[in-house]
Amino acid sequence: MFRQRHHIAILLLSLGMILLGVFLWLFLHKTWKDEQETLRRETSLLFVNAVRGIESRMFDQLLVRHWDGRDGDRSVQITLRLPPPVKDSARVFAFVQEKAIVTHDIQEFRSEKLKDMRIMVNRSQTPEEAEISGALSVFVGSDSLLVPGLDTSPLRVREALETNFGAVMERAEIPVAWQIQSLADSLPAGNAFVAGQYADVVNGERYKVVISGYDGYIFRKMVPQGLFALMLLASVGLAFLFVYQSLRKQMRLTEIKNEFIRNMTHELKTPISTVSVAIEAMQHFDALQNPERTREYLAISQLELNRLSLLVDKVLRMSLFEQGEPELKTEPIDFLVLVEEVLEAMKLQFEKYRAEVKLTVSGQHFNLQGDRLHLISVLYNLLENALKYSAESPQIEVALAHSEQQLTLQVRDRGRGIPAEYLDRIFDKFFRVPTGDVHDVKGHGLGLSYVAGVVRLHHGQIEVNSRVGVGTEFTVRLPGTPH
């Protein structure tokens, strides 16, 4: 059930990441479109300004100002001079002297009656719209605007548009590619759009300004949004990764817990069954009448009860480490005496395994401040591992040395050894060296984790050296006290 829930959680996390990615892609795509539309509006407005700038500058050149200054008269007479247009009809305002005449057809005017006039095209569209209209060909068609017979060729109009639009784009500091084209021309390859259109009502030509090469410009403007999207995706991704790793770890711990329960049940049932059998034999098979057999059964029962006590004690002490580092009840200890007591207490176990144990001592004083009960458990764990993971007739060497206020304990066996890739993990809680399908050694992965925790609390160090098929050596270094 837990595995199924774990897979569902991973599926939901993956779906959440996919939806977040889609959302961020839509967000960036929408931002791109908005920036593109903003660029189109800006360039359209600049194009309108360029056209209006041409008209304004050329119209200023048509103003003829007179000031005669006679009899204190300081009035200025302004005369507008333009030859009449000669092209097709358009809605225009014709100013003759001081009267305005509105017409829909330029052809209705006679040129000899319109000696002084100005053409004003009626513009009904707003600057934001795509196309504007005017009579630039009238303004730029001749070097001398007072000479009839204007050159209204499209080339002159395009040159004027390119010059003025280039100037306003440079002042606006918009680094994009652009070009003035005839409305009939096709757009260049790649990303390009039309920013504005202009229709000349005199020569009938229509032009457009094409914006291209703006990807880099928009990307630079989108840097804040891109960084935000990247940081959001990274933070949520890391959070999902953390949750995923937690789920994986929880799943692994659940499997380890189940294995631990199975192994612990076996470990607890074995001594209980042995003691039960011994008691039953003494009760029902007249073992009490045989003192030798009684002592044997009592010795077996005592051994199994000690084993059961150590197992329960180990679990209880590991629960203390789970709740937090326990407080040590330190006292002066002769570590050599403690080692000898543990070896004597485990004598029956050594005989059961037909183990040969050798103690080597180097130095004279082995005093330290420590928790007696915890240090005894450390010795039991190291010696039990040496017994369990050795072949028949284990050979165990225990070495104790004192040098420069440091006590060194070494427990060496000639067992199966530990592969090098697992040496860094053997002190992790619940970790057991994988043995494939072989489960000849029962355990629960708590012993070495407990040993490392106790050594650390005593301000010591523990190291392990091992070779597969050769054996394993544990080295514990603890600070000594002056004798």
304 and 448 belong to one structural domain:
yes
215 and 256 belong to one structural domain:
no
CATH number at residue 354: 3.30.565.10
pLDDT of residue 75: 52
334 and 192 belong to one structural domain:
no
Mean pLDDT of 272-279: 78
Residue 474 has pLDDT above 90, yes or no: yes
410 and 272 belong to one structural domain:
yes
112 and 251 belong to one structural domain:
no
- 183: pLDDT confidence band, cut at 50, 70 and 90? confident
Instruction: Using the 3D structure, point to which of 221, 250, 281 is the last residue of a domain.
Output: 221
The verdict on residue 75 lying in a domain is no
* Range from 276-280, 301-305, 377-381 that averages highest in pLDDT: 377-381
Range of the domain at 86: 26-69+81-221
60 compared with 466, residue with greater pLDDT: 466
307 and 217 belong to one structural domain:
no
242 and 378 belong to one structural domain:
yes
pLDDT of residue 33: 92
pLDDT of residue 93: 37
How many structural domains is the chain composed of? 2
206 and 242 belong to one structural domain:
no
pLDDT of residue 337: 92
Residue 466 has pLDDT above 70, yes or no: yes
Per the prediction, the chain carries an average pLDDT of 75
pTM above the 0.85 mark? no
Read off the pLDDT of residues 294-341 as tens digits, 9 standing for 90 and up. 877 787 777 778 767 767 766 666 666 666 666 778 899 999 999 998
Residue 391 has pLDDT above 80, yes or no: no
89 and 199 belong to one structural domain:
yes
pLDDT of residue 359: 93
pLDDT of residue 72: 57
The verdict on residue 14 lying in a domain is no
The rounded percent of the chain whose pLDDT value lies above 70 is 70
- 281: pLDDT confidence band, cut at 50, 70 and 90? confident
243 and 212 belong to one structural domain:
no
The verdict on residue 13 lying in a domain is no
The verdict on residue 4 lying in a domain is no
Residue 412 has pLDDT above 50, yes or no: yes
Read off the pLDDT of residues 114-169 as tens digits, 9 standing for 90 and up. 444 444 444 444 444 457 777 677 666 544 333 344 444 556 778 888 888 899 99
Instruction: Using the 3D structure, point to which of 221, 248, 274 is the last residue of a domain.
Output: 221
Read off the pLDDT of residues 97-123 as tens digits, 9 standing for 90 and up. 333 333 333 344 333 444 444 444 444
304 and 390 belong to one structural domain:
yes
Residue 86 has pLDDT above 60, yes or no: no
Cβ density class 409-419: b for 16+ within 10 Å, e for less: bbbbbbbbbbe
pLDDT of residue 445: 57
Residue 431 has pLDDT above 70, yes or no: no
